[in-house]
Amino acid sequence: MRRIWWSFLLVLGMVLLAPTTVHATQDDGTILVLNSYHQGFSWTDEEMKGILQEIDESGLELEIFIEYLDWKKFPTDWNLQGFRDLIEQKYYNSNLDIILCTDDSAFTFARENRDELFKGVPIVFCGVDGLDYEELSSNQDNYTGVMQIMNPYGTIQAAKAIDPDLQTIYVVYDNTGSGQAIGELCARSAKQVSANLEVVLLNDLGTDVIYDTVSKAKEHSIVLMTNYVLSDNWTYMSQERFCEQVAMRSAVPVYHLYQFGLGHGMLGGDLILGSIQGEKAASQAIRILRGEGANQIPILNEDTNQMMFDFTTMQKFGLSRDELPENSVVINSPIDFFQMYKGQIISAIVVFILLLAFTISLLFYIRKIRSMQKTLKENHEELTALYEEITASEEEMRAQYEEIIDAHELLEISNHKLVQLTEHDTLTGLYNRYYLYEVIDNLLRESQDPGALYFLDLDNFKYVNDTLGHSVGDILLQNLSTRMNGILEAEIHLVRLGGDEFVFFYPSVSDKILIENFAKKILAIFEEPFLIEENNLIISASVGIAISPQNGNTMELLLKNADMAMYYIKNKGKNGYYFFDDSLDLMMWERVSIERKFKKAMEENEFYVVYQPQICPVSGEVEGFEALLRWRSDGVLIPPLKFIQIAEENGFIIQLGEWVLRQACKDIVKLNKERNTNYRISVNVSVIQLLQSDFVQTVLGVVQETGLSPEQLILEVTESVFMESAEYIAEQLKRLRNEKIGIALDDFGTGYSSLAYLKDFPITIIKVDKIFIDSILGTQSIHNITDTIINLGHELHLKVVAEGVEEKEQVSFLLNSQCDLIQGFFYAKPMVMEDLVKWLGYPMK
């Protein structure tokens, strides 16, 4: 009878509620996603994010249905039977192409009911425990998927490295099937790290007992959070809330096995990324839709983890980045409030202790007076003498009471000043980072209203400090703060995060036009120059925008996403604004991937140098070559435009640039010796290299080490280097020129101040930009410009090199214009040294 009633409710629900779908078309197939857990559960949401992102990027037009088994909250047979009836009623006549399951419960449900509900439909899973890999792979039956490689060993090993005296591990997990399996794995892993480690299992304890246990944890211990979603009375708990409560009470660091624990008091660990699990599973499903059989696709048993740590929690336990495992990712770098206001806090504590001691003394004295009064009543003979003593004591008490009143008033004044210092920036008077996180973040969480956060970073502010001094930079920030205050509306908050970073928070706004209009107001502040100490400063800013709740409903998440959007517009040319979108997450992962590969690329010789000849058009003789960097990683050629900028931003360009310079010099010395020639070599250098104090010594050291004649080396720079610290870079180049090293100005003609560079800097060669070469066959005006550039170079006694020459007609024009050297595909493409030797026409020794 209960089942009939349940079926009736399901049918009624299907009439009232349409199934959750993502796409409305079904040209390329239909997918049913079965989630083991409920919507809003962080792990499940991350898996769904990865699945939908991968499907969206595939270009397939799919109809996607999404259902939730809700096994964390209701792990009962009644729920399982109800879910089966629901699926049977909803999808009885649906032509499903793929069943995609997240986590063990959904996968088990799909396999057990496949003959009745999903006859012949392939199954793809993710998030399934890696311990089942052998069984699943040996009995693969029309399914494939991605194993979840839980790595408590890596987390415990990292904890042991951070604290070599580690003795005890408190493992928190619940008594669900998956919880017990993870708990046992943690216990085994601890013994693998060190047989002397004591493992305390907290699965049979209630939450209050767990809180009490971790609060009393002894020194050289850690807490390892795993899967705890059902309390001891089988009541569902929020993972994030539980993590926060444990971390708040724990006396020792708390580690986790899942990414969603970060930001909730967890220190970190070797964390599983649910989004990567979802992406890989969706990728396998797409392969099936494109014609591969499920059994033909191997089950992936790869590590989808990342060693990650929370900077805030690191600070709590006094940890530095140097103590973390190599390649660890650190998130969240909040301001150290105590260090900033250490003096004021200690002073307030001292005053409070003194007042407390005085109050205790006063209370003790009052009790003594009362005892004396009692004695007076009992002994009337001593009344007169005691009365005089009491009178004197009362006068002293009045004086002390007045002192207490005065001290209390001073304490209130100090408290007010302390609040001001806590919430305001000392330089500009604006609200500070503490105010952002403690006040605005609470406002955001409590109101749950929409809002917009603007992350503003000044463009090239570093060079104001470098060239004019920090005092001018401080005055600039103060004047800028005044202008920004001038555009504030009543409800908008303005915060200085630190340095040249500012945040506007615009609450209760969802209209994108209003949000965009305010961004334009911010940029309009910079249209007028700043006049500071007779310096007319023209600066700009890059602004990233994140909108709540679409881009996050906490200040931490909004700030991170707005920061990514700001970083994107800064890379696109600065002086603008950009709204955060999900694609920026992928860009950041791609950037992180490239940064991780840099060290491996150097160690495994993935970088190499190619050489493009520079030829005299009159004689047809080769006079030299330009050295160009290439990178092939895992068989794939990575374009320089994709990795050079990242290398410049993280400083790797210094090591990489020195390697290119040394390799090019060694190759040209060997070539000249074997050929008995005097070929020159041109090597590009970055502004980051030029700003290094030891750059000149590094170049001269390489020249001396390789035996290259200084006259045979040419360093190529672009106009952008002169826009940074012009005077300093000019001095660097003059020192190199004094050693007879040539200086070439690359891409000449594209900047508005090229002529000034030719006059103020020791340039010996100018290279005509390819944009003018490509346009030679066009209008007469381009002819005249190109011809003028060549004539200008010759009048200044400079050599002129035309690059990017591909057509015979271009060569003829440049020959007639008396261009000194030509470089381009018309003569030769860039070649590795072995091919270059063959092109020159003699064997390589």
Across residues 264-288, what is the average pLDDT?
90
The secondary structure of residue 63, as a DSSP letter, is E
- For residue 436, the 8-state DSSP code is I
Angstrom CA distances, 727 to 270, 529, 700, 732, 761, stand at 47, 22, 21, 9, 9
% of the chain with per-residue pLDDT over 90: 39
| pLDDT one-digit tens code per residue, 603-646 | 889 999 999 999 999 999 999 999 999 999 888 899 998 888 88
- Is 310's pLDDT higher than 60? yes
Nearest to 319 by CA among 310, 308, 307: 310
Residue 230's pLDDT band, with cuts at 50, 70 and 90, is low
Q: What is the pLDDT of residue 339?
A: 52
Residue-level pLDDT at 451? 92
Q: Is the pLDDT of residue 808 over 80?
A: yes
Angle at 579 between CA 573 and CA 580, to 5 degrees: 105
Instruction: Report pLDDT digits (tens) over 192-215.
Output: 988 889 999 988 888 888 889 999
Give residue 9's pLDDT. Answer: 39
Give the pLDDT score at 304.
75
Task: Say which DSSP state 439 is in.
Answer: I
Question: Does pLDDT of 23 surpass 60?
Answer: no
Once rounded to an integer, what is the mean pLDDT over residues 655-672? 96
Q: Is the pLDDT assigned to residue 16 strictly greater than 90?
A: no
pLDDT at 26: 45
Q: Which of 240, 107, 119 is nearest to 178 (CA)?
A: 107
Comparing 8-12, 548-552, 696-700, the range with the smallest average pLDDT is: 8-12
Question: Which of 508-517, 522-531, 752-761 shows the lowest mean pLDDT across its residues?
Answer: 752-761
* 0.85 exceeded by pTM: no
Q: How confident is the model at residue 18 (pLDDT cuts 50, 70, 90)?
A: very low
* pLDDT above 70: percentage of residues in the chain: 88
Task: State mean pLDDT over 496-500.
Answer: 88
H or E segment to which residue 148 belongs: strand 143-148
Whether 670 has a pLDDT exceeding 90, the answer reads yes
Task: Please report the pLDDT score of residue 844 as a whole number.
Answer: 39
Phi, psi torsion values for 26, nearest 5 degrees: -140, 40
Q: According to the model, what pLDDT value does residue 232 have?
A: 62
pLDDT, residue 467, reads 67
Checking if the pLDDT of 779 tops 80, the result is: no
Q: Can you give the pLDDT at residue 342? A: 65
In this predicted structure, what is the pLDDT of residue 17?
A: 39
Is the pLDDT at 45 greater than 60? The verdict is yes
Report yes or no: 50 and 44 within 8 Å, Cβ to Cβ: no
Q: What is the per-residue pLDDT across 103-152, written as a single tens digit (0 to 9) for each?
A: 888 999 999 998 888 888 999 999 887 777 888 888 888 999 998 888 89
Rounded to an integer, the average pLDDT of 592-610 is: 87
pLDDT in tens, 234-268: 666 777 788 888 989 998 999 998 887 888 888 88
Q: With 80 as the cut, is the pLDDT of residue 24 above it?
A: no
Instruction: Please report which confidence band the pLDDT of residue 75 belongs to, taking 50, 70 and 90 as the band edges.
Output: confident
What pLDDT is recorded for position 723? Answer: 59
User: CA nearest 789: which of 766, 809, 806?
Assistant: 766
Quickly state the pLDDT bin for 428 (edges 50, 70, 90). Answer: very high
Buried b (16+ CB within 10 A) or exposed e, 551-563: bbeebebbbbbbb
Lowest mean pLDDT among 481-485, 566-570, 654-658: 566-570
Residue 73 banded pLDDT, cuts 50, 70, 90: confident
Say if residue 739's pLDDT is above 90.
yes
Of 25-39, 144-158, 706-720, 779-793, least confident by mean pLDDT is 779-793
- Rounded average pLDDT over 478-497: 92
Residue 821 binned pLDDT confidence (cut-offs 50, 70, 90): very high
Torsion of CA 22, 25, 26, 32, to 10 degrees: 10
Rounded to an integer, the average pLDDT of 377-401 is 72
Residue 336, pLDDT above cutoff 80: no
Going by pLDDT thresholds of 50, 70 and 90, the confidence category of residue 33 is: very high
* Residue 14, pLDDT above cutoff 60: no
pLDDT score, position 413? 60
Whether residue 496 is predicted with pLDDT greater than 70 in this model: the reply is yes
For the chain, the maximum distance between any two Cα atoms, rounded to a whole number of angstroms, is 132
- Helix (H) or strand (E) holding 592, with range, is helix 583-603
Question: What's the per-residue H, E or C state across 273-317?
Answer: CHHHHHHHHHHHHHHHHCCCCHHHCCCECCCCEEEEEEHHHHHHC
pLDDT for residue 750: 61
And the tokens for 723?
Answer: 């826009």
